[in-house]
A and B are shown apart, each in its own frame.
Chain A
């Protein structure tokens, strides 16, 4: 029986050690019936792109609370492209100032979520992004 599941990589790039948000998202997407691969803390963009490739995920969720999102996100997007994973979508959660929101979306990030974002919105957006 063919059983297509949405596969999500939830990753924590960079040096901040706060993974509560990443775990909440992983759990929420799990409860929405998705298969979530969690990488653990302090991943380099290279490690994340490599994991996304090996796991053949549909979408990558990045959790960044260090303020380094404008350095990390473009690098990860570039590496995904280099590896031929142009179909893989990226969304970001964390502390993201409003002025960066627009630039991230321009780069191709499908969703940006700050504190207080509802998990239902994120689940819905992930489904939409993967199906588009």
Chain B
């Protein structure tokens, strides 16, 4: 039996060992991914991101508890922490906050080091998620490294992205900058028992008001067509029978992870978002984008491989020297080398 078959049969040790192969991007891992791919596409992928210390791990812990107790779903958690840029080592501490989930055979937590990747995920996180998807987990929660402003890769991977904020972390100017807040499908104000929660919520709300006008103008047969929609928070705009896709306005949900308050409402928001993705066609669109990005990356990788196999190092070095001496431009040099392929 291949490891892929063992995983489809629910073998947890085989799953753990394959995850390592996939994380290391070994040939064994790649073969298994090919075998598992037809079984993927069923899980709801939920991304959780936010600044360090906003309480992502504790929130994931509570969310997973909720899904186990209330909805009896099978849950995988991929938690990413940074690798040291100097030694390549890492201390992965997300499990410390997830101790409530121990002893439940329907929860599988896997810690991952970022291994030099900068977008908030590791290079092979998407592949790990595919393995969990194939293994029959209903939900895969992806917790990013503590993210600053531009670690936005998770939005390309997940169906639903939660951005976790906490009181006292910056003002309304932070909130109108591009980046991490933009990718939120749901905004979570965690540690809501802390002072300043109203201000944080207000800043986020005003950011949303600026970003999501209630009237959108679409170009239709060359003439501007006005569509009035009055979206309310957390609900898609009234589904009028027009060519407009309903607008999702990210709801803002307060939580206190340490005591579990607000978690059921947050799970509600997540369910509503999933329903919205499916009814609006965005689910398919996101899948398409994700797989397209993945395909492009794989093509790039094998083209580079073919390039280094076909272009002699001597020619490469000689051409590079010409560029350094300003005899050939980099653009011409690239053309010359590509002709060798």
Contact = CB atoms under 8 A, between A and B. Distances in A.
Interface in B68-125: 83-84, 87-93, 95-97, 99, 102-103, 108-111, 113, 115
A30 B91 contact: yes
B309 to A, nearest CB: 16
Nearest to A40: B96
Interface string A26-68: 1101111111111110011011001101111000000000000
Nearest to A30: B89
Nearest to B18: A56
A85 B26 CA distance: 21
Contact of B88 (A2, A33, A46): A33
Contact of A5 (B25, B102, B108, B113): B113
A4 interface: yes
A33 B116 CA distance: 13
A1 interface: yes
B16 interface: yes
A37 B291 CA distance: 31
A21 to B, nearest CB: 15
B interface secondary structure, majority: mixed
Contacts of B90: 30, 35-36
Nearest to A10: B91
A54 B99 contact: no
A3 interface: yes
A31 B111 contact: no
Contact of B87 (A7, A31, A56): A31
A35 B109 contact: no
B112 to A, nearest CB: 9
A31 B84 contact: yes
Given A3-B115, A27-B91, A32-B87, 7 more contacts: A3-B24, A38-B91, A38-B93, A39-B95, A40-B99, A51-B95, A51-B109
